[in-house]
Structure 1
Amino acid sequence: MTSHAISPDGTQPAPALTLGARDYKTLALSALGGTLEFYDFVIYVFFATVLGALFFPPDMPDWLRQLQTFGIFAAGYLARPVGGIVIAHFGDLLGRKRMFTLSIFLMAAPTLVIGLLPTYASIGIAAPLLLLAMRVLQGAAIGGEMPGAWVFIGEHVPAQRYGFGIGALTSGITGGILLGSLVAVAINRHYSPAEVSGFAWRIPFVLGGVFGLVSVYLRRFLHETPVFKELADRKTVARELPLRTVLREHRAASVYVALLTWVLSAAIVVVVLYTPTYLQKVHHIQPALALEANALATLTLTIGCVLAGWASDRIGTRAVMLIGWGGLFATAYLFYTGLPGTPATLFWHYGLVGLFVGTIATVPIAGVRAFPAPVRFTGL
């Protein structure tokens, strides 16, 4: 049996080995599932302007419409902790794989529903309320998916490739943003603005629902983590409510990981998800150009996650954090103070910022290690 990266007691790593064929299969299926699920979560933001016009009263001021639209997007983030705690609770009690599969199903269904929702013109105020409800369900699902995915891989891969495994998985998750960006570019290139508002905006959501169901099927081929199997064999699976154990015995680790997660979320939401709208609304950059630049930044972000994980195995997580977050601060300053610039500088600077956003891979690398196995899913 391949030694895993984190031992059941959560303290000492097992002997370092190289990745085997089964490890690569697990990593590939987990990353692909993460790509498809995170696509479902973020595709909303790429069509925020269109959704705002369709799901709110036409006489509402534009600034208020955008505020309401992004407020509904933010509701998904507010629901994440609740969904994460519930799904993680059962992940620590019943197994990682079951919840890993359930979370992606809970994401696919609301995404498909959003693609089929009637607009404000058809059902009035019920339209934004239904949209809000679907975003809350999506947020609950992603709250269980991301920590579940990181724990799943962290307990599977060998110690010597722990950082690379988590970084590669994180690149798969951020690849969902890239996929969403590319789909948005394709929709805006292929259809006129009137067609996008009329029917084409529904296409990426319906595709997302189908993607999600494919992911549910793919995860049937994954195996439970060696760590959880050993816990179950030893009868050391969490006996009380895992959240109670975390709050009583691991408060410092919880605060530490929460602070790291704030940095991760800020980097993704501000630099990757919100900036395309910011470029269009504030600097009047054409939607297609803004989305293409965003696609490049998301591609470099995906590469950056793998590089951060690889470097973490070689020079340490702390060193990668210092270099990566420092580089992000410098490149973000260069990018945002240089706007609108030229198309060439837009692509070059945005791509460079995206590469350093890849430092977010160090957050789960540090976070998974912060908690012992019986409550690891809940703690993270």
Structure 2
Amino acid sequence: MTTVSPTPTATAADLGALDPALRRREARRVIASSYLGSTIEFYDFLLYAAASAVVFPAVFFSGLDPLTGTIAAYGTFAAGYLARPLGGAVFGHFGDRLGRKRMLVLSMLIMGVASTLIGLVPGAATIGGWGAVILVLLRVCQGIAVGGEWGGAALMALEHSESGKRGFAASFTNAGAPTGAALGTFVLGTFSALLPQDQFLAWGWRVPFLLSFVLLVVGMVIRARVSESPVFAAAVAQAEAEDARTGARRRLPLLQVLRRPRALLLTMFGGASGFGLQVLLSTFSVGYATEAGAARSDVLYAFAVASIVSIAFVVGFGHVSDRFGRRPVMIAGLVLFVLFLTPFFAMLRSGNWFVLLLAFTIALGLHGMLYGPLAAFISEQFGTTARYTGASLGYQLATLLGAGFTPTILATLYAGPGQGTSVVPVIGFLAGLALVSVVAIALTRESKDLDLATHEH
């Protein structure tokens, strides 16, 4: 494999001297690696989301009533989001010191092993509450792995790409999320449709998790074939030369980010509602449509097909943001999604598969307006020598704020204090979360034209 990374003594100015054809070829390889690696990681992570809606209440919380069991299962789902900022901080630190590539390989290894083991956890009927405890511990490992994965994958794509194409390149990392969600949901839905209910709950749901080991092997081979980020290598060489000249020591990446917390706070709040809307679709909406009378497998298949279609929206709006800017595209997506919430829930109650497919497709298409530019938007707010740490923390704190407890909150709001159920409080909560994100995005600087080689936080 041809490598295009600068030599250890390169500076940021040397990046322009790299052979353009070689750099474009390596950029394509890195983008493909980021997309496929992210797909595998999010297959594992979001497979858990679907399972927490349709499997875990019956397997690990069978002693509770259905609503309480669902809320408890969503609580284990939240454990992964609580762990993601920790993964972002740890992997970000070493990614800014040792390089992006090494951390990507390690994060994938942790995710693959944890997801495979989830498929082996005995249910409540076998070991009682210990099954739920083990499930939470493995979910935490998943969260740590994803916390480290996203930042490295996004930065590798971003820092290998040409100026003016960064939104498009980095969007492939986020496109891995709907691809992974579709793959995980399709596999889970297939076993749900083919097996009787008792067999599916006894062992069928475990097979998609056990398949994670196969995906792990594929992912490790892919990750081993890419080169280190040229922007990162040049920035480190330049920083080391400056340290040698002045005798100073570089600040820890985390301290560089926290010294000026504005970028971290704005990216955290700016991305939060996108993740709230994401888990609305992958958890609450699946249960809501099933409760309205649709077959569980039909809902899962509709969501899987819509997720595949949404890949084009994520990549397309990433490209659009290279031309019109990250902020206007993301804000427009949030406003349109909130306006669509009322008809969306009405469509979910139709029981018609094609209407369900249309509902999920429109919702995920609008979500793509936010999610497509998001990787570049967050990453571009931080300087190169602390970008892995800053971007990872900003993104993972956004997921914690927007998605960590959202399934539990939505289920609680939907049930309400009385005996009835209503989506009105659900829509109100999501609209309020979207407003917070719109304000935060509006307060950030437009970053599409920044020079990554010279920009420092």
Alignment match, 1:141: 145
- Paired amino acid for 2:124: Y
Alignment match, 1:94: 98
Q: Report the identity percentage.
A: 30
How does the TM-score come out when normalised to structure 1? 0.91
Task: Give the distance between the partners of 1:52 and 1:171, measured in 2 at CA.
Answer: 29
State whether structure 2 residue 184 is matched by structure 1 residue 175: no
Equivalent in 328, 337, 361 of residue 372 of structure 2: 361
Q: CA RMSD in A?
A: 2.5
State whether structure 2 residue 278 is matched by structure 1 residue 268: yes
Alignment match, 2:131: 127
What are the equivalent positions in structure 2 for 1:17-36 lying under 5 Å apart?
20-36=24-40
The structure whose Rg is larger is 2
Equivalent in 218, 221, 231 of residue 222 of structure 2: 218
Contact 2:150 2:173 in 1 (8 A): no
State whether structure 2 residue 43 is matched by structure 1 residue 39: yes
Task: Give the distance between the partners of 1:2 and 1:59, measured in 2 at CA.
Answer: 58
What are the equivalent positions in structure 2 for 1:192-271 lying under 5 Å apart?
192-236=196-240, 239-249=250-260, 251-271=261-281
Alignment match, 2:311: 302
> How many residues in Structure 1 have an aligned counterpart in Structure 2?
372
Task: Give the distance between the partners of 1:160 and 1:252, measured in 2 at CA.
Answer: 25
Alignment match, 2:342: 333
Task: Give the distance between the partners of 2:266 and 2:257, measured in 1 at CA.
Answer: 13
The alignment partner of 1:370 has SS state of coil
Contact 2:289 2:351 in 1 (8 A): no
CA offset at residue 131 of structure 1? 0.4
- Paired amino acid for 1:319: P
CA offset at residue 195 of structure 1? 1.6
Alignment match, 1:347: 357
Task: Give the distance between the partners of 2:159 and 2:199, measured in 1 at CA.
Answer: 47
Task: Give the distance between the partners of 1:301 and 1:272, measured in 2 at CA.
Answer: 13
The ranges of structure 1 where at least 4 consecutive aligned residues each deviate by more than 6 angstroms after the TM superposition are: 1-4
Alignment match, 1:314: 323
CA offset at residue 3 of structure 1? 11
Range moving further from structure 2, 134-143 or 255-264: 255-264
CA offset at residue 2 of structure 1? 7.4
Contact 2:171 2:315 in 1 (8 A): yes
Q: Which runs of 5+ in 2 are unaligned?
A: 244-248, 392-457
Alignment match, 2:407: none
Q: Which runs of 5+ in 1 are unaligned?
A: none
Task: Give the distance between the partners of 2:68 and 2:35, measured in 1 at CA.
Answer: 37
CA offset at residue 241 of structure 1? 2.2
Task: Give the distance between the partners of 1:164 and 1:353, measured in 2 at CA.
Answer: 21
Residues 191, 318 of structure 1: CA spacing in aligned structure 2 closer, same or farther, 3 A cutoff? same
Equivalent in 153, 164, 167 of residue 163 of structure 1: 167
State whether structure 2 residue 388 is matched by structure 1 residue 373: no
Contact 2:11 2:238 in 1 (8 A): no
Contact 1:163 1:309 in 2 (8 A): yes
How does the TM-score come out when normalised to structure 2? 0.76
Instruction: String of CA shifts for 1:100-155, please: whole Å, max 9, x gaps.
Output: 11111110111111111122222222111000100011011101111221112111
- Paired amino acid for 2:328: A
